[in-house]
Chains A and B, each alone.
Chain A
Amino acid sequence: MTRPSVRESRDAASDVPRGERPRSLRRLAPPAMILAGALVIVGLSFLLPPFRNYQLATVGAYFCVTGGLTVLTGLNGQLSLGHGALMATGAYTFALAQNRWLSLPVSLVAAIVVTTVAGLVIGLAAARLRGPYLAGLTLAVAVVVPSVTSTFDEIFNSDQGLSVALDPPPGTIPVEQWQAWLCWAGALLSTSLLAVLVRGRFGRDLRAVRDDETAARLAGVDVARTQVAAFVVSAACAGLSGALFAVLAQSVSPGAFPLTLSLFLLMAIVIGGLGSLAGALGGAFLLVALPTLAQAVAEGTGSPRLEGNLALVIFGVVLVVVMLAAPGGLASIRFRRRRTS
């Protein structure tokens, strides 16, 4: 065994001035982040044609859910295959509330609240489960939630789903631009809240539980409560995301939230870089870009039926390539460069 150089460090310790101690570089204030993000989005939305604005909006809607999922899976180590189902919960709640009260804020809040409660229930069960058992539980959620819609078909209108009544955008703003603003308002708000949350005590607790439950307990972390909290926060984001998708599609149906959606979400955050909100943004972008690419390829080769599977294939290939080239995901590439420079 080589002699570790602890003793030198003991002497060196005293002459490390407090000011020079390493600090996290990512200390941009959240209000500044929101403002900068909002300016970029609003600016972009005036430049982009309607369809691109629609895609921009979709990235924002995805960013809500990937942000929450990367906190749950990346920072707290809880795998969820049920986030597609949580999005469905948010979307249906939004649709029902909207068709009844026709008030966007009320429906959005309702979607978040109901999904958060669902997340609390799942989280309470999940906190007792580990590894494959947890995956199994969330898989069950993914299967059961859509089937609820066909069981209570007088409320949810079964496979056809519900159309969503929406007020027209204010003034003369095109629908797609309005959607982009809405989705990104939700995305920026929820992900900045996440950023604030995970930066401090809660974030440390999340990661401590992920890394070593026993040591975390001894350090005073209530493991079960931390895990439930992570699920609740993550579910709230999924609920908001689902509601935004309902706004985008102006309808909800069980087919919009299949199990493959949950798989895509997981792949997206892994490719982006688990546990990183920047990675979640990258993942959200890929969730829109890769299916578009698949569509183009399928049309190019003249086999439109290939399209659905091709997206999965492309995602799989990207996942493998990224994992080989940068096991920490896309976000880690940038990080590594910064460290070596």
Chain B
Amino acid sequence: MATDDVATDHVATDHVATDHVATDHRPDELGLHHISVRFGGLTALDDVSLRVAPGRIVGVIGPNGAGKTTLFNIVSGFVTPSEGSLTLGGRPWRPRPHHLNRLGIARTLQGVGQFNGMTVLENVMVGVRGRHAESEAWTALERCGVTRFAGDRPGALPYAVRKRVELARALAARPRILMLDEPAGGLDADEIRWLAGLIKDVGITVLLVEHHMDLVMSVCDEILVLDFGKPIALGTPAEISADPRVTEAYLGTAA
């Protein structure tokens, strides 16, 4: 018994010393189980289940008011589900907004949520806990191509730059799960192409809410379609674009 313990300890220490990635024990697998949300009489989410596997890029689409942002609010702890439960890394989980960062979950807000009273660099530094906040922030700014705005106030910058700064803040803490709420909203084709590249290359679990179909179809491994809070389809981009219920939901609201 005792020798066993020692052996395990030894292996574990070796592991730490040689493999940096394996020391990151923050979970990157997310599960939603029969989630329902009611706001008074309105059912914003109706029995939604979804497993976001490690490293996968999962899209959530649906017409306006379908409950996409509400889904994000559930996962980030801003809204408590009326029914159902969440798991993180396979364990039951009750999210709290300010714990997400530490757990390795980053989320951007629909539109931009920014700190206009501080510089772009400081904005990104808010997202990094620990002693290396500044250098990590620079790395994130570099990755999003906005280093030269580091000293500016975000309020004065073009919308596309602000969106990138927000992405930089989300990425600065090196999350394992990235939740993006309409990151392409208000951006032009070039910007969206850049964004698609970033999402594909980011190498972590991504949950993407987006109206821009080309983007969703090109980057996602899997797509969940919501309509009035109900999950009406779940599948690969090819399956989703061939699904008559999906086209109906979109045409139905367009008419």
Chain A residues with CB under 8 Å of chain B are 1-7, 9-10, 12-14, 16, 18, 21-22, 201, 204-205, 207-208, 210-212, 214-223, 275
Contact = CB atoms under 8 A, between A and B. Distances in A.
Interface residues on B, range: 35 or more
Given A211-B114, A218-B76, A220-B98, A6 B147 contact: no
Contacts, number: 111
Interface of B: 76, 78, 97-102, 106-107, 109, 113-119, 121-122, 125-127, 129, 133, 138, 141-142, 145-151, 157-161, 164, 169, 173, 188, 190-191, 194
B150 A22 contact: yes
Contacts of B161: 4, 6, 9
Contact of A207 (B117, B147, B158, B188): B117
Most chain A CB atoms below 10 A, which of B97, B141, B188: B97
A21 B115 contact: no
Contact of B98 (A5, A201, A204, A222): A222
Nearest to B131: A201
B148 A9 contact: yes
A218 B149 contact: no
A9 B149 contact: yes
B109 A218 contact: yes
- Taking chain A's interface residues, is the majority helix, strand, or loop, or is none over half, making it mixed? helix
B167 to A, nearest CB: 11
B68 to A, nearest CB: 16
A212 B115 contact: yes
24 contacts: A1-B159, A4-B159, A4-B160, A6-B158, A6-B164, A6-B191, A7-B145, A13-B147, A13-B148, A22-B119, A204-B118, A212-B113, A212-B114, A215-B109, A218-B97, A218-B106, A218-B113, A219-B101, A219-B126, A219-B127, A220-B129, A220-B173, A221-B126, A223-B98
Nearest to A204: B126
Contacts of B117: 207, 210-211, 275
A1 B147 CA distance: 23
A217 B126 contact: no
A4 B158 contact: yes
A4 B160 CA distance: 7
A6 B195 CA distance: 12
Nearest to A220: B101
Given A6-B164, A204-B126, A18 B138 contact: yes
Contacts of A275: 117
A123 to B, nearest CB: 17
A13 B121 CA distance: 14
Contacts of B157: 4
A22 B98 CA distance: 29
Nearest to B118: A207
Contact of B160 (A6, A13, A211): A6
Contacts of B159: 1, 4
A220 B102 contact: yes
Contacts of A2: 158
